[in-house]
């Protein structure tokens, strides 16, 4: 689900998306895939705390990260979300007090900032990030981050945890029953979403964050999905219309799942039939 309103990834408010990266078993294959799909180029740095880390660049601006498994945030191939956190030195205690699990941190990444990795009470992994210098994260453009939503079987736990940790205000988008989706707002803007996985999701599907990347209207979601398939990726969910844009769920050659969206292709979609309301 994509944001109903563009937001700034440079916003320093706690809780705003501040970075995304992908964990992969085949770094070279992942780099080639995203270079062809989004036009990314790469710069690699070595850090004592995390080893080699690759920054994806678009027109010379940082848009995402890539690193090889094993790593400090994921135990399997996945796209990872990092949320801005002020006073990260107190974050671990707050997370535990609210029922979350801290895996590690704060971990200092020399020259960049500090990181805490946690599972929320519904079981989804997410990172907290406090930069130590002005942090560049380009969004809103084709080939860059557009939105993220938490997919979970324990929706109310997630809503309560993040609303308390970051002062989010949840707003229901669906009917709350057949389609239970909320957007999380800060200071009058939506920054994230939360989808309650219903009976159509097998119980063994773990809670996870879905990362969305914008695609150019000139290319479109359907062509992008076909291109991913030709680049040895996979189409997990065929392109479909949504109120926020035409969307598809893809998988890269390393096994990490993500979504692409064309926000210019918005559609009126009915998620439930009012005749069957209680």
Q: Which residue has the higher pLDDT, 224 or 134?
A: 224
Q: How confident is the model at residue 137 (pLDDT cuts 50, 70, 90)?
A: very high
Q: Rounded CA gap, 38 and 212, in Å?
A: 13
Q: Comparing C-alpha atoms, which of 57, 277, 54 is closest to residue 179?
A: 277
Tell me: pLDDT of 130 over 60: yes
| Lowest model confidence (mean pLDDT) among 4-8, 110-114, 144-148 | 4-8
pLDDT tens, 178-202?
Answer: 789 999 999 999 999 999 998 888 8
User: What are the distances in angstroms from CA 121 to CA 41, 95, 106?
Assistant: 36, 9, 19
Give the CA radius of gyration of the chain.
18
Strand-pair partners of 223: none
**Where does the pLDDT of residue 30 fall: very low under 50, low under 70, confident under 90, or very high at 90 and above?**
very high
The C-alpha angle with vertex 65 and arms to 59 and 67, in degrees rounded to 5, equals: 135
Q: Is 95 exposed, middle or buried (0-12, 13-18, 19+ CB in 10 A)?
A: buried
Q: Could you tell me the pTM of the whole model?
A: 0.90
pLDDT at 15 over 70: yes
- Cα gap 241→266, rounded to integer Å: 7
**Nearest to residue 244, comparing CAs of 175, 173, 162?**
173
Q: What is the mean pLDDT of the chain?
A: 89
Q: How many residues does the chain have?
A: 278
């Amino acid at each position: 689900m994509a944001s109903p309103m563009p937001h700034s990834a440079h916003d320093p408010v706690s809780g705003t998306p501040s970075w995304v990266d992908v964990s992969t078993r085949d770094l070279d294959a992942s780099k080639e895939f995203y270079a062809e799909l989004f036009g990314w180029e790469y710069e690699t740095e070595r850090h004592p705390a995390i080893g080699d880390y690759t920054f994806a660049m678009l027109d010379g601006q940082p848009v995402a990260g890539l690193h090889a498994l094993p790593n400090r945030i994921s135990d399997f191939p996945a796209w990872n979300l990092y949320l801005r956190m002020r006073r990260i030195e107190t974050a671990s205690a707050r997370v535990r007090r609210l029922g979350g699990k801290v895996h590690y941190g704060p971990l200092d990444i020399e020259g960049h900032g500090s990181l805490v990795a946690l599972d929320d009470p519904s079981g989804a992994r997410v990172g907290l990030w406090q930069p130590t210098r002005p942090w560049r994260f380009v969004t809103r453009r084709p080939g860059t981050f557009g939105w993220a939503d938490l997919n979970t079987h324990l929706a109310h736990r997630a809503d309560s945890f993040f609303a308390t940790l970051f002062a989010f205000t949840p707003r229901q988008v669906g009917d709350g029953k057949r389609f239970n989706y909320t957007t999380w707002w800060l200071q009058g803007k939506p920054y994230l979403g939360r989808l309650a996985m219903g009976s159509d999701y097998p119980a063994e599907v773990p809670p996870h964050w879905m990362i969305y990347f914008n695609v150019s209207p000139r290319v479109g979601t359907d062509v992008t999905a076909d291109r991913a398939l030709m680049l040895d990726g996979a189409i997990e969910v065929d392109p479909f219309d949504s109120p926020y844009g035409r969307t598809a769920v893809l998988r890269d050659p390393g096994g990490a799942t993500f979504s692409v969206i064309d926000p210019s292709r918005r559609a009126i979609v009915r998620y439930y039939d009012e005749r069957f309301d209680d």
